[in-house]
Amino acid sequence: MPLAPPQPTRRLYLFDAVTDKSANALVRELHDLERQAPATPIELYVNSDGGDLVASLALVDTMRQITAPVHTVCVGRCRSVAAAVLAAGEPGHRGVSVSARVTILPPPCIGLLDGNDPASPAVEQLLIARCHACERQNVLWESVLAGLTGQGVEGWLAMKKNKPKQQGIRGYGEDFDADVAVDMRLADYVLEGPAAIGLKRTDPEAGIPQRMYTCDPDSSYESASGAEEHEEAAAATASPTTHSM
C-alpha cells in the first residue's frame, strides 16, 4: 500500500518586526495555504515587537479575507502592531501564553523631522504637516484595535484606561499580562501547561466577540472570501473547463 503524501504544515510564525518584507511573506504563505485547503484552519504564532502600521494592516486584511480561519497565539510578547495581528485571529481562537505580555503602543510615526533636516522657513510647515499625519495614524490605530476587539472607539479607549497595566518591561508602552489581554478582548484564552492551542479557555463562550473589523459595535465583519465565494470557487475547480490567465 503506497504511503499517503505528507500533509503541508499549516503553522506560520511572525517572530520578527512587522515590515513590508515579513508581512508580504506571510500574505503569500496565507494565500498558498488557502489554495491548498480552503476553510481549513491555519495557526499563526506571534512573538514580535511590532513595526510598520501599513504592513501590519496588509497582513490583518489578508487574515480576514481568506476563508481559512487563522488561529493566533502570542508567545513571548506582542507589542504595538503585533497586538493587532494577534487580535485579528479568528474569534474564539486567539491564545496568549501564560507568561506572555501584550503591549499597546502606537506604531512609530514615519517621517518626523530629525536633526538632519535643513533649517529653513518651510521646516515649520513641514513639521506641522507631519504631526497631523501622525495624529491621523494614531486615530487609525485606535480604530483598528477597537474594531478587532468588537467595540467602538470610545468603549475601547475607556476599557484600556481602566485596565491595570504596568510600564513595559522594556521601559515604555502599556504592558498587559495574559489575563488582562483576554479581558480586553485582544485574545480569547490563556495557554497553560502543554503548548496546545485551546487547552484552556479563560473567556466564557458567550463573551467571545463576533468577527468584526469596524468601529461600529453593531456591525459584524464579513470576509471578502465568504462561503458563497468558496462554493463558487470549488464548483469552478471541479469543472473540466479550464481558463487561461
Each residue's pLDDT tens digit, 44-55: 999 999 999 999
* Side-chain-side CA neighbours of residue 112 (13 Å): 8
Which domains does the chain carry? Answer: 11-228 (3.90.226.10)
28-48: per-residue pLDDT in tens? Answer: 999 999 999 998 999 999 999
What pLDDT was estimated at residue 197?
A: 45
Low-confidence ranges of the chain (pLDDT < 70): 1-9, 110-121, 164-174, 193-245
What does the alpha-carbon distance between residue 72 and residue 56 come to, in Å, rounded to a whole number? 14
The answer to whether 187 and 87 are in contact (CB under 8 A) is yes
- The residue ranges of DSSP E strands in the chain, in sequence order, are 11-14, 42-48, 70-79, 94-97, 101-104, 166-167, 174-177, 189-191
Q: Is the pTM of this model over 0.85?
A: no
